[in-house]
Structure 1
Amino acid sequence: MRNITNHLGETTVLSETTCEKALGVIITSDLKWNKQCVSASARAKRALGQIKSSFTYLSKETIIPLYTALVRPHLEYAVSSWSAHTKSNIKILERVQKRAAKLVKTIRDKPYEQRLRYE
């Protein structure tokens, strides 16, 4: 807690925080992006859940535009400022892509690497 006096002589109490959200990006006092990656992943997973519950059958032709329009923006928003560069953060974000690839019923049982190469 810190007291600040303005030019009128009024005192304002400022509290210290370890985490702030500005323009949708979570900034922590240690400047690590773990919370931002978890938050972006959670928003993207919710969008995937909406897609899954809205469609009875998802082919590659339907999932790609839906993923591109509804899921990827959550993962890519302001990425130039918070780029995930640690392995743990990359894994958090890649789990969303793995989950999206499993939505395509014809390739659901294949390993992840084969699902990515599927045409």
Structure 2
Amino acid sequence: MSLLDVLETTSSARYLGVDISDNLNWSQQISRVTNKANSSLGFLRRNIPTRNQQLRSAAYKAVVRPQLQYAASVWDPHLVTLINQVEAVQRRAARWVMSDLEEHQVSQICYKPYVGEACNKGGQMQGLYLCTRSCMD
């Protein structure tokens, strides 16, 4: 490679597991993360038949939550549509941990909105973790 070679341009690249686009739009990253988390949650649902909440919660915390939290300080969603994608995984996991209650029942028991005064104090993803902690910790 000589000094005269030109690097080719690209619209996005993956670095340390984070998809970075040329305009810093994180939709591709969030779609990839939520798809992987949904896939892992589906795997857990198929392979953990017990209704034991402690076991389900431990499995969620060991497998799914780290996928949602990895490098979240970099790609922390700020658009409502992206926040809803991440929240959908959280709601699905909460219903599964709470033994497949109806969605409105889980919301009343343990789910707080992603964007809220309490959640925004430490950053949105950290807030998401704190808001769901009472339900899944």
TM-score, length of structure 2 as denominator length? 0.71
Unaligned 5+ runs, structure 2: 112-133
Structure 2 equivalent of residue 60 of structure 1: 53
The equivalent position to 1:94 in structure 2, one of 87, 90, 96, is: 87
Cα distance in structure 1, aligned partners of 2:73 and 2:66: 13
2:52 is equivalent to residue 76 of structure 1: no
Q: Residue 99 and residue 110 in structure 1: after superposition, are their counterparts in 2 closer, same or farther (change >3 A)?
A: closer
Contact persistence 2:37–2:68 (CA under 8 A) = yes
Sequence identity (%): 29
The structure that is helix-richer by fraction is 2
Runs of 4 or more, structure 1, over 6 Å off, are none
Report the CA distance shift for 1:85/1:53 in structure 2 as closer, same or farther (over 3 A).
same
Name the SS of the counterpart of 2:10 in structure 1: coil
The separation in 2 between residues aligned to 1:46 and 1:115, in whole angstroms, is: 25
Aligned residues of 2:20 and 2:29 also touching (Cα < 8 A): yes
Larger Rg: 1
Q: Distance in 1 between matches of 2:108 and 2:31?
A: 26
User: Do residues 116 (structure 1) and 89 (structure 2) align?
Assistant: no
C-alpha separation in 1, matches of 2:46 and 2:92 = 14
**What letter matches 1:116 in structure 2?**
C
1:101–1:115 Cα contact (<8 Å) kept: no
Tell whether 2:27 aligns with 1:34: yes
Deviation at 1:20, TM superposition (A): 0.6
Q: Report the CA distance between 1:12 and its aligned residue.
A: 3.2
| Uncovered stretches (5+) of structure 1, i.e. residues with no partner | none
Total equivalences in the alignment: 112
Q: Is the 8 A contact 1:41 1:93 kept in 2?
A: yes
Instruction: Give the alignment's TM-score, normalised by structure 1.
Output: 0.81
